[in-house]
């Protein structure tokens, strides 16, 4: 089995067992698999959206006022959801990807501006931060 198949089976088993909170993040690179399973459960009627709590996180590479909304939309698309219940800042450090195998570079950011964007953007009205 591939890692994706194993993850899909694990999420299925968790939902079958009764888990109703899924905590994920862009950095985990698993939102698309979780989204696949959630979509299957939601469209089949095995689960109602209001009966599950989904948390995901703003990646370090997007902790900038101009990037926050893009990151959320990417996560929502991968999760195949209209909203998440909780959107967290994964780490308060804004980082720039340089290249594979090299450390990311820290960048300055305005955390207050990031928060302000989150409260004013129309696409942020469907979840709580």
User: Please, which residues have CB within 8 angstroms of residue 97's CB and are 6 or more apart in sequence?
Assistant: 61, 104
Check: CB of residue 79 under 8 Å from CB of residue 66: no
Name the catalytic one among 19, 28, 83, 87. 28
SS3 of the chain: helix, strand, coil, percent, to 5: 50, 15, 35
Task: Round to whole Å and give the CA distance between 126 and 54.
Answer: 12
Q: Give Cβ neighbours of residue 89 (< 8 Å, ≥ 6 apart).
A: 57, 58, 63, 114
Is there a catalytic annotation at residue 94? Answer: no
Residues with a known catalytic role: 28
């Amino acid at each position: 089995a591939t890692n994706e198949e194993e993850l899909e089976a694990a999420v299925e088993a968790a939902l079958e067992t009764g888990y109703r909170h899924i905590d994920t993040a862009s950095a985990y690179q698993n939102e698309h698999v979780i989204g696949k399973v959630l979509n299957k459960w939601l469209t089949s009627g095995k689960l109602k959206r209001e009966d599950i709590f989904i948390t995901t996180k703003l990646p370090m590479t997007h902790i900038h006022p101009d990037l926050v909304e893009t990151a959320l939309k990417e996560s929502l698309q991968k999760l195949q959801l209209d909203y998440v219940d909780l959107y967290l800042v994964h780490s308060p450090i804004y980082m720039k990807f340089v290249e594979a195998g090299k450390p990311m570079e820290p960048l300055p950011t305005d955390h207050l501006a990031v928060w302000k964007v989150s409260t004013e953007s129309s696409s942020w009205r469907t979840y709580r931060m």
